[in-house]
Amino acid sequence: MSFFSKIFGSSTRVNIPADLSRLKCDLHSHFIPGIDDGAKTMEDAVAMLREFSSLGYKKVITTPHVMSDAYRNTPEIILAGLSGLRAALKAEGIPIEVDAAAEYYMDYDFEKLIEEKRLLTFGKSSLDSASGGYVLFELAFINPPDSLMNVVFKLITNGYRPVLAHPERYSFWHHNFKKYEELVEKGVLLQLNINSLTGHYSPQVKRVAEQMIEQDMISFLGSDCHHTGHIELMKNVVYEKSLHKLIESGTLLNSKL
């Protein structure tokens, strides 16, 4: 029986809310308005970031989608949107820092961007002193990509540290947990969606997320916030035992961003 099981019993819920302010920084969100499937207007974005501030976050790194067949965002588009968002937050007096990177879809264009070193990164990875930082990327949800390990190798050899977005949501690996272990062994960091712990995506996603936490595999926790509904879920997830365990684990890098 684990330490947390001894304290909280077999239920997945606890009575004391987790302190999200200990994370300091949220990684993975969609707050720049009008450029992907996240915030629709600047008013939407400001309202959501006001909520994040009230939850205790001091910083967010927002990550618009970059997808060759849907959201053809460039660093220029994203950074221009970031500038507008910062100005709106300043005008409203909301005390939260906002930076931007991207959530890259693993497609042919992504591989070209790696080679051209045209990726928006966040933080500074400890991979080596010349590192270009962390890169958040996602996969298709239907089938595992055959070229995944080649892309991981390409990222690392170009000085980037790959961070896989919401690995718990890729159902094609749910019955092959060793694939997650192989990715970590190859140098991929895993970013868990906080709302996966509510069962929002599915009970199986929740179970896989909890298993990853039990095995200390998670390096970043992100909201993947697109709309206010996600924030309401976050207000509920703070009572999940597994979230307490993750925050206490010492494996999260959010506060270093």
pLDDT digits (tens, 9 = 90+) for 11-70: 789 999 999 999 999 999 999 999 999 999 999 999 999 999 999 999 999 999 999 999
DSSP characters over 32-61: STTSSSS-SSHHHHHHHHHHHHHHT-SEEE
pLDDT of residue 11: 77
Stretch 100-124: mean pLDDT, rounded? 95
* Torsion of the alpha carbons at 172, 60, 31 and 204, rounded to the nearest 10: 20
Q: How many CA atoms lie within 13 A of 25 on its CB side?
A: 19
Average pLDDT over residues 186-210: 98
Determine how β-strand 189-193 pairs with β-strand 65-66: unpaired
pTM score, two decimals? 0.93
Percentage of the chain modeled with pLDDT above 90: 91
Predicted pLDDT at 86: 98
131 pLDDT tier (thresholds 50, 70, 90)? low
CA distance 219 to 163: 9
Q: Is the pLDDT of residue 8 over 90?
A: no
Mean pLDDT in residue range 85-95: 98
Average pLDDT, stretch 109-117?
95
Residue 142 has pLDDT above 70, yes or no: yes
